[in-house]
Amino acid sequence: MTQTVEPGVTGDEVRVLDLVDQLLANHDPHGDRFEFMGAQFDMGLAWVHFPEGHGGLGLMPRIQEVIDHRLDAATPHRPSFFHVIGHGMGAPMLNTHGTEDQKRRHLKPLFTGEDVWCQLFSEPGAGSDVAGLATKAMEDGDEWVVNGQKVWTTVAHVSKWGMLVARTDPDLPKHQGMTYFLMDMEAEGVEVRPLRQITGEAEFNEVYMTDVRIPDSQRIGERGDGWKVALTTLMNERVAIGGNPAPRNAGAIADLLEVWREHGGTEDDRDRFMKLWVEAEAARLTNLRAYENRTAGTPGPEGSTAKLVYAELNKRVYELATELMGPEGMLYDTYELFQPQSAEEMSGDLRRRFLRVRANSIEGGTSEIMKNILGERVLGLPGEPRVDKDLPWTKVPRS
């Protein structure tokens, strides 16, 4: 099939659209998910800015939009909530820090969704200050033995691999003594327990590790480089949560529009709605500009800015939507513990979203931490006092 090429479309775009046509012609877009997405990966259409052979073609990241736009309309085999961590954070982290072998082994099943990934960073005593973490990994021959506990681990109950940061040198200052691993979540000694959220759902978990053995070949980066690799992961997390440009009137504001059309509201409600719409549009355009400026590689603090804006805005948007619904807004179906096994099982109910967005200003770094990043890294304000920065981790007081 020959595409009609619009004015302004670049040669690279024409080339990838041609490849998308080949993909759709040679692989049933409604057939087997792994076969279709595997072919997409092999053709370099998974992450187009990644190198050839690793799911990309070495092109500009924005070309991916052209591919995604076409595939969104043509196939149900698209990344879902269960892929957000692996696709948004795991893949760019591995592309930056992984060895050739690790990339070859993990990127394809990660892309197709055959392997779901989770993020094992937060601990009961280390959330915002994740560098204070206490889970230990001790070297034993060509393996590491891991003991400790992680918490708030999204999709751990369906994950094959966990991105784990553990303390390997407790006598070094906290940022220096950590190492990064990819841990097999099915390994002996890994126990995953559901944690119920305000919505009733348990999309996240506690993860206990008792003498879990990780082969050294699953270490990412050098021993002691854990913080560097973790930072790449976190920067990509903020972009994955808040930084992807959406079309006008999509996401939370689209929900509010729909509720307004159905229920209407007072003059005051109308003012609130208009203000929120303008804020959402300003945030979207700012995000779009940051996205256009961003090139391949590690994203900068603009991901944190977008994350902060959307987290706070989403809460106010769903507050108004629920108010406009009146008593109907309180008709919540059930608070029974429910552990979704796939994205399809997750509820799209608006009342549930009102509750779920409360987590937006906590997950991926709280709004207070985003403001610290904004203040220090964008505005150049004096940094927070960090008195434990140079102390050996063993000498830092812990609760």
The binding site for ligand FAD (CB under 6 A) comprises 118-119, 121-122, 127-128, 152-154, 204, 359, 362-363, 365-366, 368-369, 372, 384
Shortest separation between residue 374's beta carbon and ligand FAD, angstroms: 12
Instruction: Provide the b/e sequence for 252-272 (b: ≥16 CB within 10 Å).
Output: bbebbeebbeeeebeeeeeeb
Shortest separation between residue 307's beta carbon and ligand FAD, angstroms: 11
Shortest separation between residue 117's beta carbon and ligand FAD, angstroms: 10
Containing H/E element for 150? strand 143-150
Containing H/E element for 112? helix 100-112
Residue 139 to residues 7, 207, 223: CA-CA distances in angstroms?
A: 58, 21, 10
Residues forming beta bridges with residue 338, ordered by sequence position: 201
> What is the number of other CB atoms lying within 10 angstroms of the CB of residue 215?
14
100 is catalytic: no
| CB closer to ligand FAD, 142 vs 384 | 384
| CB closer to ligand FAD, 266 vs 399 | 399
* DSSP letter string, 45-108: -SSTTSPBTTTB-S--TTHHHHHHHHHHHH-S----GGGHHIIIIIHHHHHHH--HHHHHHHHH
Q: What share of the chain is helix, strand, coil (3-state, %, to 5)?
A: 50, 15, 35
Shortest separation between residue 304's beta carbon and ligand FAD, angstroms: 12
CB 317, CB 276: distance < 8 Å: yes
| CB closer to ligand FAD, 65 vs 363 | 363
| CB closer to ligand FAD, 149 vs 372 | 372
| CB closer to ligand FAD, 204 vs 291 | 204
Structure token pair of residue 38: 């595997």
| CB closer to ligand FAD, 23 vs 240 | 240
CB 92, CB 236: distance < 8 Å: yes
Instruction: Give the residue closest to ligand FAD by C-beta.
Output: 127
Nearest residue to 66 (alpha-carbon basis) of 10, 28, 113: 10
Shortest separation between residue 213's beta carbon and ligand FAD, angstroms: 22
Q: Is 375 helix (H, G, I), strand (E, B) or coil?
A: helix
33-42 and 11-26 helices cross at what angle (nearest 10)? Answer: 150
Shortest separation between residue 314's beta carbon and ligand FAD, angstroms: 13
Shortest separation between residue 205's beta carbon and ligand FAD, angstroms: 9
* Pairing, β 143-150 against β 161-167: unpaired
| Catalytic position from the list 13, 201, 203, 237 | 237
| CB closer to ligand FAD, 38 vs 92 | 92
Structure token pair of residue 325: 């619904």
Active site residues: 237
